[in-house]
Amino acid sequence: MPQLTAIITGASEGLGKSFAIELAQRNFNLVLVALPGSSLPQLASYIRKNFNIRVDELEMDLTDADAYPGIFNYLHLTGITAHMLINNAGLGNWAWFEDKNILFYKKQIELNVITPVLLTRLFLEQCDKAETSYILNVGSLGGLFVVPKKQVYGATKSFIRYFTKCLQLELSGSKVRISLLSPGGINTKPELLVMNNKLKGIGKATIMEAEDVARIAIDGLLKGKKEIIPGLANRFLVLLNSMLPGVVKESIIRNRLKLILKS
Amino acid sequence: MPKKILPNRILPLILLTNSANKFVLHRGKPILSCNLSMRTILVTGATGFIGRQLCLALAEQGNRVKALCRNTGHPLLIKHPNITPVQGDILYPASLKKAMQGVTEVYHTAALAKMWCRNPDDFYETNVTGTRNVLQAAADADVKRVVYTSTCGVWGPTLNFPLSEDEPRIVGFPIAYERTKYLAELEVQQFVNRGLDAVTVNPSRVFGEGPVTDSNTVSKMVGGYLKGKWRVIPGSGEQVANYAYLPDVVAGHIAAMDKGIKGNRYILGGEDISFNQFFDTVKNVSGIKHNLVRVPQKVIKFYSHIERVKTQLTGLPPFFLPEFADRLKFDQKYSSQKATTQLGYRITPFADAMQRTVNYLKQA
């Protein structure tokens, strides 16, 4: 079997880095994309040293219009066909709507919405139709629940949910597998490490380590799962969400909101 | 007559300016003995495994050592004419301000290095807030340099090759000690960016002659083996970790103060050794042969979940936790190449170091 190649966006840190390590362990060649100055070259050379795979690194800002064709032009020139696309790059937030400026929201929507759509479009164009290809769109449980202070982020993830579900229908007859990953909280950035470790009870149970999320996600993607929800507590929440009437859910969220407003 | 004046009046001045000498001469005879190059050094965590040996080494070199400890009557504090116990706590900035008076160099070794703590917030308080307090006090006191004792745990598990300083961590931070030491390193970096001169050292698993405490897992294991109480090899025994010998680590600290590059990190490790090699060496150097049972990782993981429940229900300290059981799936190999090249760091052969450790533990 020929070695497969995976493109990972936002590969230098957090979940993206875990995807890179996970796929390297599964003998995939890698095309890693991340912002300049995010120590991507160090990660790439570390993976090259420890695994017998090809690693290409592309340092670019995915909100630049040239970046999207740039990735695939590079692959075309180097004779690489990608078999897997992990749309992982994204920008989160935890702030009242009026506390962030318009440039932030513009960037957030570009990175969370426009980037995965355009990359998916260009990825499908270069796919080898005879081989199975895989797309993993990183959504969020936030795309399912209405969470205060996550207004734009949650909305972008709802977009990804609709986009992925719809593509699954359109591509159902082809050899393209497309999965939606809906994780709860993940311990990635330093400030999240501090915040998440203050949580108790069910809140704490929804938080997972990036390497576990990555492993579960790739397992699910290769099996052709439509939606991957890592973690028992998170699956329980989704089940609860589908059973509770809208009135009850709204009152829970309102109560939470009161608590947040007080603090 | 000029010839007579020279030895009596000018020579002492010459000696003063070439201040390496200890004696000031008066009419050709020494009148007082003092080390004019004597430095005043603050060591936090002076009763700890590394801190106490560091205090001793610095004191033996003729420095004035202020040993910061919460209890100046602590039994593990080393008594030496050059070591002055200073009462203080890294969580009380006022006590640090006092301790920093006249200090030119600081070694910050104090940390909470246990596997488990009844109050999980203690890890953050001691390791992150405490470090921030020490750095702030050092910056306020215009200290020349701070050497911060971190750990190889900020990288944790490694893949096929020994890891060096610029390489990335490949897993998250479920272990509180590693997480808070990582966050503390970020604090150090912030202070360096603002102009403070600080160097970080990252010892691996440290062992050697010293008190057997909760944070000293290697001595607990070896001591247990010698008494016939430690009878297991985790997993297949093939898992490799890096073991650093205490005197090497202490010398590495002092070299980091003298030769380290501002803002840099230095791995202070030893040899990469598997559990099988580890216990073979302990057997050979001690002459004590016990049969050890290999316990599969999955069994350890299962047992660790029981331990976690026990701890949650009773508040009793766990013997082992799931996040540590997960670690048994990985190697922890580290390269001390950078410290060797830049600091002149030296590694004592593992068998020699273990021989001395075993001799010490047999007497203790």
Structure tokens at B110: 């104090």
pLDDT digits (tens, 9 = 90+) for B156-172: 999 999 999 999 999 99
- Residue A190 near chain B (CB below 8 Å): yes
Number of domains in chain A: 1
Task: Say yes or no to pLDDT of A259 above 90.
Answer: no
**Per-residue buried b or exposed e for B112-125, using 16+ beta carbons within 10 Å of the residue's own CB:** bbebbbeeeeebbe
May I ask the CATH class of domain B40-212+242-272+331-356? alpha beta
Closest CA to A93 of A85, A103, A84: A103
CA dihedral A170, A175, A180, A186 (to 10 degrees): -160
- How large is the average pLDDT for residues A224-253? 85
pLDDT digits (tens, 9 = 90+) for B249-270: 999 999 999 999 999 999 999 9
Closest CA to B95 of B60, B62, B130, B123: B130
Q: What's residue B12's pLDDT? A: 40
Closest residue in A to B121 (Cα–Cα): A198
Q: How far apart are alpha carbons B135 and A153 in whole angstroms?
A: 37
- How large is the average pLDDT for residues A15-31? 97
Q: What's residue B112's pLDDT? A: 93
Compare B43 and A252 and report the one with higher pLDDT: B43
Name the stretches of chain B with pLDDT < 50.
Answer: 1-36
Angle at B80 between CA B75 and CA B84, to 5 degrees: 80
Of the partner residues B168, B173, B186, the one whose CB lies closest to the CB of residue A187: B173
Structure tokens at B97: 């301000």
**CB-based contact B165:B125 (threshold 8 Å):** no
Q: What's residue A9's pLDDT? A: 97
User: Residue A58's Cα: distance from chain center in Å?
Assistant: 18
pLDDT digits (tens, 9 = 90+) for A200-218: 777 778 889 999 999 999 9
Contact list, A39 vs chain B (CB under 8 Å): 168
Q: What's residue A263's pLDDT? A: 59
Please give the share of chain A, as a percent, with pLDDT higher than 70: 97
Q: B334: which DSSP letter? A: B
Q: Is B183 in Cβ contact with A46 (below 8 Å)?
A: no
Q: What's residue A148's pLDDT? A: 81
Question: Residue A263: which H helix or E strand, with range?
Answer: none
pLDDT digits (tens, 9 = 90+) for A63-80: 998 899 999 999 999 999
- How large is the average pLDDT for residues A231-236? 88
Domain carrying residue A241 = 5-262
Question: pTM for the complete prediction?
Answer: 0.86
Number of continuous H segments (helices) and E segments (strands) in chain B:
14, 14
Of the partner residues A42, A187, A193, the one whose CB lies closest to the CB of residue B168: A42
Q: What's residue A179's pLDDT? A: 98
CATH number at A38 reads: 3.40.50.720
pLDDT digits (tens, 9 = 90+) for A114-139: 999 999 999 999 998 889 999 999 99
Q: Is B172 in Cβ contact with A190 (below 8 Å)?
A: no
- Residue B119 near chain A (CB below 8 Å): no
Q: Is B172 in Cβ contact with A194 (below 8 Å)?
A: no
Q: What's residue B37's pLDDT? A: 62
pLDDT digits (tens, 9 = 90+) for B24-56: 444 444 444 444 467 999 999 999 999 999 999
DSSP E strand stretches across chain B = 23-26, 29-33, 40-44, 64-69, 83-87, 105-108, 145-149, 198-203, 205-207, 232-234, 240-245, 265-268, 271-274, 293-295
* Shortest CA gap A34–chain B (Å): 15
- Is the ipTM higher than 0.90? The answer is no
Compare B37 and A225 and report the one with higher pLDDT: A225
Q: Is A50 in Cβ contact with B168 (below 8 Å)?
A: no
Q: Is B167 in Cβ contact with A187 (below 8 Å)?
A: no
Per-residue confidence at A262, pLDDT binned at 50, 70, 90? low
Contact list, B173 vs chain A (CB under 8 Å): 187, 193
